[in-house]
Structure 1
Amino acid sequence: MGRNCLAVDIGASSGRVIMSTLTDNKINLKEIHRFKNQMYKEKGSFYWDIDKLFGEIVKGLKIFSNNDLEADSIGIDTWAVDYVLLGKDGKRISPVYAYRDNRTNNSIDDFTEKISKEDIYSKTGIQFIQFNTLYQLYEHVKSNPSIIENISSILMIPDYLNYLLCNEKAVEYTNATTTQFYNIHDKTWDDELVKEIGLTSSVFPSIAKAGTVIGSLNDKLESETNIKGLKVIAPATHDTGSAVVAVPAIDYEFAYISSGTWSLMGIESDIPICSQEALNYNFTNEGGAYDTIRFLKNIMGLWLIQEVKRILNDKYSFAKLVELAKEAESISIINPNDNRFLNPENMVNEIKNYCKETNQIVPNTVGEIAKCIFESLALQYKQVLLQLRKISNKTINKIHIVGGGCQNDYLNQLCADYTECEVFAGPIEATAIGNIMVQYITLGEIDNISEARKIIMDSFEIRRFKPDFDVNIDDKWNKFKELI
């Protein structure tokens, strides 16, 4: 048997504890525990139940131990930007806000009156999205200034979960960069930005690179779970950072799409790209594992169809929604990244209203709404690809789609047809796999990311989609350009 690692991978709707075994340069995965996650609403604001999430991790560890399994290490990844405030006693002092909360709707305009967008971007290289940690903390402190006296530490979600596991505080690099507090030139927290919200950089712990051993399972948890000597390793704790580690690419001229609730589309770069053009297009320079930059753009992603499914009381499976979309007539498109789709009361009505307001035929059937979403996402992929080529001067003719969204063959083919690129879909469990690969590199079982990617190619199914060059999207593309 090879060495085992545990990956905790938590997204906006669910989380998993997964065990991996590395044997003969092949990775095998076994799901130990799966649990639900969702925002909750209280007094008009949206939060995460962080205590429940940690409880589910501990439950997963107990299940693992009760099955007489062993592991060398554990790594946690989650979404980015959301944070936890700790008081002087080391305990949480505030509920954990969810990034879809509307308190930051006007924060960018407000904050950039104090420090210009150009200055912020030159420091951080991070795109301007209203839920960045910078604007969340700005609103948090502004609405409750007395909290400043009580804050001793600020941790990102996975860093806080690590802290609960091993009693050690650190903020992992890939997640630190997403906050818009990290100075990409000084490679540390930016004093000016932190000071502008009324805090000092001392509240942010030291920054740890992906692959750092943060500590070991604390005594209380060792006793509770009956697991001894489990190393707590920070993978790329930002789930997109872990997903990009798992992109099964050998050459360098490719774009990736980490496809799930969000679609994160970009390239790997050796250096930050902070040009005026990159700022104008609102691209972001997020830290990657092993000294890379993830130069990418956030696209609203499958959140759109997830919300449609929810609003329709889960009457249709995702597979059925795809089937209905394929059968439906193409009548309208949307700009997926319009802020109105971030967290509307009713996604179906929001899409219909958008189409009506933009003088398009209003989609009425479920199939028409689903087709509108999938075609609009594919058009957004085309737009981002063209921008990536222009900014980076790279010849990009391959797109790797990883994550749960890569199971949507209809969207994969639309992506190939609309971008005129070869599309490679897989692996599905990219985030957990990338998390695990960083652990194996730290443990000395794998030499580097190139070797890790070859192992991934040999271990998981990667499906290929060739573009149909006879597909004509001129009318849709011209309409899409009007909408953006």
Structure 2
Amino acid sequence: MEYHLAIDIGASSGRHILGYIEDGQMKIEEVYRFENGIKKIDDEYCWDLKGLFQEIKNGINKCKEIGKLPKSIGIDTWAVDFVLLDKENKVLGNTVAYRDDRTEGIMEEVFETIPKDMLYLYTGIQFQRFNTIYQLMAIKNKKPEILENAKAFLMVPDYLNFLLTGVKANEYTNATSTQLVNSFDRTWDDKILEQLGIDKSIFQEIKLPKTSLGNLRKELVEEFGFDMEVILPATHDTGSAFIASVCNDNDSVYLSSGTWSLMGVENHFPICVPQSMNYNFTNEGGIDYRFRFLKNIMGLWIIQEVRKNYDNKYSFAELVVKARESEDFNSIIDVNHDRFLNPENMIEEIKEYCRETNQQVPETVGQVAYCVYNSLSSSYKESIAELEEIFEKQYKKINVFGGGCQNELLNELLAKVTQKEVLAGPVEATAIGNIVAQLLSYEKVANLEEARKLIAKSFEIKTYIP
């Protein structure tokens, strides 16, 4: 049996999942799980990459412990965050997280140099204050010495791959999230970098998913007692999740549901027209130079923070039960408002929003939870309406995948408000998509279409009818 290891790292946790093909079906097995999160260091919200790499090694050792040695390994994480390395390959400064407020007001400063419409025309990427471009400009403004000493730019999964292999490369799907890649040339945009005064030489060659970075560093082979080939998946977790969609048609909307909700469709070309810019859609790179034309929606982060504010007293399943008891509660929040990005207290922020907009203020646990789920479904409905307007067509189905597809109430609300059939699954979409890229690299699956057929017959998919 040949195993392939997906390491899927999200904002709150990471997992090592082995994948293999047996009896004509794709099978997966979680072998290790660990926690992740942002910590405040020197007044900045930061990631602990040293700790993450140790967890990566712990999980690899677990594979050896259970006697299932992977032939290859692929790492995916969230997007936009990065490290800058000096001439000795040491990380400069903190690895600051996208939820930090260092980019406050930076986006507007960039527009003074590069007009908003031109930036969108070049890159096709939606405007979010935490995009890499604005993080780099925040460093340039506030800590210029870091950029002056930087010799290499690596996004988080790029850096973890560097630690594994010694090879520096920027993977395509994650690179596009920086708002620094030209969507037509599919490489770093010299004009943008020059206008912003950022040294192009720090950026690496952009490599595509399915590319091999080679094998492990010699010292890691000695430490683990075995070797693996490091294969690039779509290192942006959403890019991997989209690979795992069970829809192989042009009549479906995709919804990757997790901490973030990413809703859209798959294209073979970018759409950088004013209408898509005004609706704030993005053209993120996908496997085989596909484009994920989608919108980032705040997602289940809000309910995660609500649960934390209740001191984790309720499980997510219990929050759904309580929400069902408050289905007559009608207040709606704008889930994409910056105020919900990283508030001190999410519940109080929701209540204050309702007060400011003259709506009923949620008081019970059920009302707060239902307000979140109802608001998310409302946002999904609005995004689909915008997609249908842009493409001048009606979509028939919605494929929801990722951990959030297990929320039956949200799936029911989505089917109800959109009046469309909802297909929920697969749950482990990101890890599955990561493994698929490795299988494609080894030609164990012919192409993406065949991979999606394999996924559809290998994993449970639930259907919700409006």
The letter for the 2-side match of 1:223 is E
Structure 1 residues 397-406 or 142-151, which shifts more?
142-151
Q: Is 1:257 paired with 2:224?
A: no
Distance in 2, Cα, partners of 1:232 & 1:372 = 43
In the alignment, the residues of structure 2 paired with residue 196 and residue 46 of structure 1 have an alpha-carbon distance, to the nearest angstrom, of 28
Quote how far apart the aligned CAs of 1:240 are: 0.2
Q: Report what 2:383 is aligned to.
A: 384
Map 1:23-422 onto structure 2 (within 5 A). Answer: 23-228=22-227, 230-328=228-326, 329-422=328-421
8 Å Cα contact 1:160/1:169 also seen in 2: yes
Q: Decide which moves more: 155-164 or 36-45.
A: 36-45
Deviation at residue 252 of structure 1 after TM alignment: 2.1
Which whole-Å CA distance do the structure 2 matches of 1:446 and 1:400 have between them?
A: 22
**Secondary structure of 1:112 counterpart:** helix
Cα distance per residue 1:374-420 (max 9 Å; x no partner): 00100100000010111123431100000000000000010000011
Retained in 1: the 8 A contact 2:113–2:196?
no
Aligned with 1:232: secondary structure? strand
In structure 1, what is the Cα distance between the partners aligned to 2:82 and 2:433? 22
In 2: Cα distance, 1:394 partner to 1:22 partner: 37
Report what 1:480 is aligned to.
none
Question: C-alpha displacement at 1:13, in angstroms?
Answer: 0.3
**Count of aligned residue pairs for this structure pair:** 465
How many angstroms does 1:64 deviate by? 0.8
**Alpha carbons 2:305, 2:346 under 8 Å: kept:** yes
Listed one character per residue, the Cα deviations across residues 112-141 of structure 1 (whole Å, up to 9, x for unaligned) are 111100110010000000000000110012
| Partners of 2:121 and 2:10 in 1: CA distance | 30
Normalising by structure 1, report the TM-score.
0.95
1:271-293 alpha-carbon deviations (Å, 9 max, x no partner): 10111100100100000101210
CA distance in 2, matches of 1:392, 1:6: 38
Q: Deviations over 1:416-450 (max 9, x none)?
A: 00011100000000000000001000011001011
CA distance, structure 2, for counterparts of residue 105 and residue 25 of structure 1: 51
Contact 1:331-1:368 at 8 Å conserved across structures: no
Is 2:402–2:427's contact at 8 Å kept on the other side of the alignment? yes
Bigger mean CA offset, 215-224 vs 62-71? 62-71
**8 Å Cα contact 1:16-1:33 kept in structure 2:** yes
Q: Distance in 2 between matches of 1:113 and 1:415?
A: 40
Q: Secondary structure at the match of 2:347?
A: helix
Contact 1:331/1:363, CA 8 A, preserved across alignment? no
Q: Report the Cα offset of residue 25 of structure 1.
A: 2.4
Q: Look up the equivalent residue of 1:279 and give its one-letter code.
A: M
AA in 2 matched with 1:326: R
Task: Note the C-alpha offset of 1:143.
Answer: 0.5
CA shift, 1:72, in A, is 1.3
Whole-angstrom CA distance in 2 between matches of 1:112 and 1:259: 31
- In the other structure, the counterpart of 1:466 is 465
> Counterpart of 2:437 in 1: which secondary structure?
helix
Counterpart code for 1:286: E
Aligned to 1:481: none
Q: CA deviation at 1:107?
A: 1.3
In structure 2, how many angstroms separate the alpha carbons of the residues matched to 1:371 and 1:197? Answer: 44
Deviations 1:201-260 (A, max 9, x none): 1110000011100121110110111112x1100000000000000001122211111000
Q: CA deviation at 1:147?
A: 1.9
Percent sequence identity over matched residues? Answer: 50
Contact conserved, 1:141 with 1:197, CA < 8 A, in 2? Answer: no
Deviation for aligned residue 1:193: 1.9
Provide the rounded CA distance (Å) in 1 between the counterparts of 2:23 and 2:343: 48
CA distance in structure 2 between the aligned counterparts of 1:348 and 1:44, rounded to whole angstroms = 24
- Give 1:154 shift: 0.4
> Which deviations, in whole Å up to 9, do the C-alpha atoms of 1:184-211 show, x marking residues without a partner?
1222111222234432211100000111
- Which residue of the partner structure matches residue 444 of structure 1? 443
Structure 2 counterpart of 1:258, one-letter code: S
| 1:457 paired to 2:456 | yes
Deviation at 1:71, TM superposition (A): 1.7
Which AA in structure 1 matches 2:171? Answer: E
Q: Given the alignment of the two structures, is residue 6 of structure 1 paired with residue 8 of structure 2, yes or no?
A: no
Check whether the contact 2:261–2:299 (CA below 8 A) recurs between aligned residues: yes
Give per-residue Cα distances to partners, 1:128-164, cap 9 Å, x unaligned: 0000000011001211112233100000100100000
Query: How far off its partner does 1:346 sit?
Result: 0.2
Distance 2:349 2:212 in 1: 45
Cα deviations across residues 14-44 of structure 1 (Å, max 9, x unaligned)? 0001111112321111111100000001232
SS at match of 1:199: coil
| Structure-1 separation of matches of 2:423 and 2:192 | 40
Give me the whole-angstrom Cα distance separating, in 2, the residues matched to 1:388 and 1:39. 34
CA contact (8 A) 2:107 2:129 kept: yes
Q: CA deviation at 1:327?
A: 0.5
Q: Which amino acid aligns with 1:324?
A: K
Residue 452 of structure 1 deviates from its aligned partner by 0.5
Unaligned runs of 5+ in 1: 468-484
Query: Partner amino acid for 2:100?
Result: D
CA deviations on 1:269-319 (whole Å, 9 max, x unpaired) are 111011110010010000010121000000000001000000110011100
